[in-house]
Structure 1
Amino acid sequence: MASRKQGSAPRALVVEDIKVDCVILMHMLHKLNSEATAVENGKEAVDLFLEGKTFDIVFSDKDMPIMSGPEAVAKIRAMGATVVKIVGFSADFGGREAFMQAGADVFGPQGLRGGATWWTGNRNNPPPQLSSIDRGGSCQ
């Protein structure tokens, strides 16, 4: 997987089936000057990687219809996507083990806030200039 060019907007993928959570996370990513895409389930996330799309970070819910977050993480990692950072989140505290075994980098209980805080606290570069946000998937 290609890494992000220096100075370009970080590319984020939000995998979330609950519209309000998706909208909140997309808003947070917009405020962080990210280029973000949203999908409603793990299969749609895997399909984007199969199409050759690249992301710097993926935020994934655990329990979704069609394909769960941990299933999607395992498939994405199996495709060789080792550079992308993956943050799993769920209200289910047992979700941590499922995400970590699947290959996630971090798990944020209490939903998306923990993952977004981890990401912003681990950025090495200053935020890039504002970029576009694709409000596809469930966040329209």
Structure 2
Amino acid sequence: MPISQSHGFSSPKSELTALVVDDDGVSQKIHHRLLNILGIENDVVANGKEAIDIHLSGKKFNLILMDRDMPVMNGIEATKRLRDMGIGSTIAGVSSHSSSKIKQEFTEAGLDVYHEKPLTVAKLLSVVSKIKPKE
């Protein structure tokens, strides 16, 4: 049985799209692979500025997996800017930080949900269940 079906997610070819925003190559690969397992088409960028730029180019995503600590533009600033641009995608903060102050600061930037790394299929499914319709 495919992993996606064993976790109650039965859409082998989802129409959902996601953007992975993370400067860590290992995290990029893990998140990209988890999204692929769930049948979610996804792109990967290495920092918040690239996330802004890909949206300015006209691409839209249902879900954005946003790391907090990145060079050039961090996840907090990128989340604020995306929200200021009117981006209504579900934004999930994904970070290795567990302090409540850091979580609160990131959430106040405009996150819909926050998860500590590493993401798992179960955590990703809980995020997918919160996805808003595409803009």
Q: What band does the TM-score fall into relative to the shorter chain?
A: 0.7 to 0.9
Does residue 1:30 correspond to 2:36, yes or no? yes
Summarize deviations over 1:34-77 as a string: whole Å, max 9, x none.
11000000000011111121000000110000000111000000
Match of 1:70, SS state, is helix
CA distance in 1, matches of 2:87, 2:131: 20
C-alpha displacement of 1:98: 2.0
Q: 1:98 aligns with which of 89, 100, 105?
A: 105
The aligned amino acid for 1:67 is M
Name the TM-score, length of structure 2 as normaliser: 0.78
Query: Which structure would you say has the larger RCO, counting Cα contacts within 8 Å and 6 or more residues apart?
Result: 1
Structure 2 equivalent of residue 119 of structure 1: 127
Change (3 A) 1:34 1:62: same
Question: Is this contact kept in 2: 1:59–1:115, CA < 8 A?
Answer: no
Alpha-carbon RMSD across the aligned residues, in angstroms, is 2.1
Deviation at 1:120, TM superposition (A): 4.0
- Looking at structure 2, the residues matched to 111 and 100 of structure 1 have their Cα atoms a distance apart, in angstroms, of 18
Partner SS for 1:73: helix
Structure 2 residue matching 1:77: 3-state secondary structure: helix
Contact 2:14 / 2:39 at 8 angstroms: preserved in 1? no
Q: Is the 8 A contact 1:12 1:36 kept in 2?
A: yes
Of 63, 86, 94 in structure 2, the residue corresponding to residue 89 of structure 1 is 94
- Which amino acid counterpart does residue 124 of structure 2 have in structure 1? A
- Identity over aligned pairs, percent: 36
Q: Count residues in correspondence.
A: 117
So what's the TM-score if we normalise by structure 1?
0.75
- Determine the structure 1 residue equivalent to 2:116: 109
Give me the whole-angstrom Cα distance separating, in 1, the residues matched to 2:49 and 2:74.
8
Q: 1:53 to 1:118 in 2, by over 3 A?
A: same
